[in-house]
Amino acid sequence: MCNDKCKQLMNIYKNLNGDFTNEVKEVINKWKLNKWSKNEFLKLRQYYNDNLKNTANREQAVTLYCLLTHAFNNQIAFNSKYEYNTPSGASRQYFSKSLENKLNEYIKVIQNKNINFFDYDFISFPYDAFDNLETFYYVDPPYLITTGAYEKDYFCKWSNEYEYQLLNKLDELNHNGNKFALSNVLEHKGKENTILKHW
C-alpha cells in the first residue's frame, strides 16, 4: 500500500506500466524537450495548467512526469490554483538515457508487486480497512523544523497542530498493537522539534 496526499503524484504511480516510457518519449519529442529547452518546458507547463491540472488520467500522468524530469531539481510543486509552478531545470534536468533505464527498471519492479496507490491525508486515511496486527506503517511526514519545497506547496502546510495529530495517531496505532516507523529530525540548523522530543 502506497499513500501520498498529492493526487497528481499518485496518478503517475497508478499509470506506470510497460507503455509509459514510450508515451513519455512521444511527449518529449512532440514538445521538443531537451537539456536546454526552457521555453519548450514553459509551453508544456502552460498546456498542463490550462488543460490537465484538474484531471486524473493517463495524459495528466505522462505530461506531469515529463515536466518533472525537466523541472528545477525535478521538484513537484503547485500553487493555490492547483497549477504546476516549478521553474525549468534547463541546463541541468532532462530525460536522459540513464533516467529512462531507471524508469524502465522501476516499472518492472512495481509491476511484479501487488501495490495499491491511495491519495489520502493521514487524518482521513482508512486505517480501519487495514486494521490487523500484520499491518506495518511507515510514516514520512514533512519535517516540522526543516524547509522543503513542500512547505511552500499549497497542498502541504505542515504545522504544530498536524505534528500533534500525527503523533497521537501513532500512539493510537501502537496502542492497538500495530507496528510503525517514523522518519523525522529532532534538531536541524539550530532548530529543535520540542514536540517530537517530548513525545
39-96 pLDDT tens trace: 999 999 999 999 999 999 999 999 999 999 999 999 998 888 889 999 999 999 999 9
pLDDT above 60 for 149: no
Q: Measured between alpha carbons, how far is 163 from 135 in angstroms, rounded to an integer?
A: 22
Q: For the whole prediction, is pTM greater than 0.75?
A: yes
Q: Measured between alpha carbons, how far is 156 from 154 in angstroms, rounded to an integer?
A: 6
pLDDT tens digits along 9-25: 999 999 999 999 999 99
Q: Measured between alpha carbons, how far is 60 from 62 in angstroms, rounded to an integer?
A: 6
pLDDT tens digits along 25-43: 999 999 999 999 999 999 9
Query: Tell me, what's the pLDDT at 152?
Result: 54
Amino acid sitting at position 133: L
Q: Measured between alpha carbons, how far is 88 from 126 in angstroms, rounded to an integer?
A: 37
Query: Tell me, what's the pLDDT at 197?
Result: 97
pLDDT above 60 for 154: no
Residue 53: which region, alpha, beta or left (left: phi > 0; alpha: psi -120 to 50)?
alpha
CA distances from 53 to 4, 72, 146 (A): 17, 19, 28
Judge contact between 169 and 141, C-beta under 8 A: no
Q: Measured between alpha carbons, how far is 174 from 168 in angstroms, rounded to an integer?
A: 10
Q: Which residues contact 159 (CB under 8 A, 6 or more apart)?
A: 144
Q: Measured between alpha carbons, how far is 4 from 81 in angstroms, rounded to an integer?
A: 20
Amino acid sitting at position 86: T
Q: Measured between alpha carbons, how far is 7 from 146 in angstroms, rounded to an integer?
A: 23
* Interstrand relation of 187-188 and 191-192 (parallel, antiparallel or unpaired): antiparallel
Indicate the average pLDDT of the chain: 92
